[in-house]
Amino acid sequence: MKRPSIRRIVLGVSLPALLLVVTSGPQPAFAHKAKHTPAQLRAFEQVFIEQVKVGDLLFHGDEATQKRLGVTLSNTGMACAMCHPYASDTHPYTFPKFQEQVNKFSTLRDMINWCIEKVSEGERIEEDSSAMKALEAYIYWSTRGSTLEPGTH
Ligand code: HEC
């Protein structure tokens, strides 16, 4: 009797397996196809707005919030808002882009740290820190609804 070729064995095993995967209901990767409920959306918005509020405090130099999060955003007595009266003045929708000041392709987070270190003589904050996320939330919130124009000036 002729022995079945390897190719036949592989096909024989993998084709039914593939069919099983394709036909056996929703997979974890498609889980987000389910619409969020209004209650879930409200909860998400609440989490976001809480972050925006923390970012607002940081942007305006609130000492207690900086202390709580263990950050020193400025040592000149100048808060972000003194130079950028509106957070939207920092044009978050234009990032990432080439930034002359640092001669580098930069993200919003890079520029937040640039201002903290170079302009405000503070201590740079971790990219994934609570303070960075809150500042980012506040700055993006300030331009909600605007069109993304990455790479522009
Ligand atoms: C003493 C004034 C001053 C303070 C305080 C300051 N900045 Fe800035 N910031 C500047 C200047 C000057 C620039 C560079 C010019 C520009 O791009 O607008 C800049 C640029 C930026 C940019 C890039 C804007 C763009 O369109 O490229 C971001 C983002 C930013 N600052 C965020 C912050 C944050 C967040 C803080 C507080 C942690 C802060 N800045 C504090 C003066 C300041």
Q: Tell me: the pLDDT tens digits for 74-84?
A: 999 999 999 99
Q: Atom 24 of ligand 1 has which residue's CA nearest to it? A: 90
Is 137's C-beta closer than 6 angstroms to any atom of ligand 1? Answer: no
- CA–chain centroid gap for 51, Å, is 12
Secondary structure (3-state) at 106: strand
* CA–CA distances in Å: residue 114 to residues 104, 119, 153: 12, 7, 17
Residue 146 pLDDT: 95
Q: What's the gap in Å between 6 CA and the centre of ligand 1? A: 64
Cα separation, 124 vs 137, in Å, equals 18
Atom 9, ligand 1: residue with shortest CA distance: 115
Q: What is the pLDDT of residue 33?
A: 79
83 Cα–ligand 1 center, Å: 7
Q: What is the pLDDT of residues 21-35, one digit of tens each?
A: 445 555 556 666 789
Please identify, by atom number, the ligand 1 atom nearest to the C-alpha of residue 122.
38
| pLDDT value of residue 1 | 45
CA 116 – ligand 1 centroid, Å = 8
Is it the case that residue 9 has pLDDT exceeding 60?
A: no
User: Would you say residue 124 has pLDDT above 60?
Assistant: yes
* CATH no. of 38-141: 1.10.760.10
Query: Mind listing the pLDDT tens digit for each residue in 61-74?
Result: 999 999 999 999 99
Average the pLDDT over 122-131 and give the result: 98
The CA 14 to ligand 1 mean position distance, Å, reads 57
Measured CA to CA in angstroms, residue 57 lies from 17, 19, 73, 75, 94 at distances of 55, 55, 12, 17, 24
